[in-house]
Amino acid sequence: MYSLYMDCAGGVRGDKRILRDLHSLLRFYSFHTIRQEVGNVPPCINSTAQTSWLNRPDVRKALHIPPTLPTWELCSDQVAERYVREYQTMESFYLKLLGGGLRGLVYNGDTDMACNFMGDQWFVQSLNLKKTREYQMWIYKKQIAGFYEQFGNLTFLTVKGAGHMVPQEAPGPAFHMFKSFLTNSDY
């Protein structure tokens, strides 16, 4: 479920999606896994534009994709089944990049049920960086747009009412968020 409150044209393929999510979550354990083909597109996500564009011959050529490789698809079952996790956490990478002076922004839509904001917030807090700005609201067009907190050069931020696809579901607040981050100005 990529957006808790978003209408889903045609309904949600609940049983199939649950099986796919279970398969993904349990693939690292040594017991029989649940397998069922469910198609390539998560429910409620329209990927027609990017699929058409990424599969155009001129785009594939510009991206140096050999013609022998299959066409691009959103959430490929082939890729998911062959994915091997190399790292259990990205903590050391974050700390190295932040320690080198890079700024970072971790953001989530607060209605995203696939990658919920609490998990990312806990991850950011687990880095044990000094908090430089307390958890507080940020504003877009005189409305609360979400909440954020800062840990030196790392910001954790939520976007109110947005799901997994923040720029698609909340374009105005997303633009404001990115602009504020890129210009290093207040949210």
Tokens of 10: 């045609």
Tokens of 32: 């029989």
CA gap 61, 21 in Å, rounded = 33
* CATH 3.40.50.12670 location in the chain: 16-82, 90-183
CATH 3.10.620.30 for domain 90-183: no
Give the tens place of pLDDT for each residue, 137-168. Answer: 999 999 999 999 999 999 999 999 999 889 98
Give the mean pLDDT of 36-63: 78
> In terms of C-beta density within 10 A (0-12 exposed, 13-18 middle, 19 or more buried), how is residue 27 classed?
middle
Give the tens place of pLDDT for each residue, 7-46. Answer: 665 555 555 555 666 666 666 665 554 454 444 456 667 7
| Fold that domain 16-82 belongs to in CATH | Rossmann fold (3.40.50)
* Distances 86 to 28, 54, 89, 124 between C-alpha atoms, Å: 12, 27, 9, 20
Confidence (pTM): 0.72
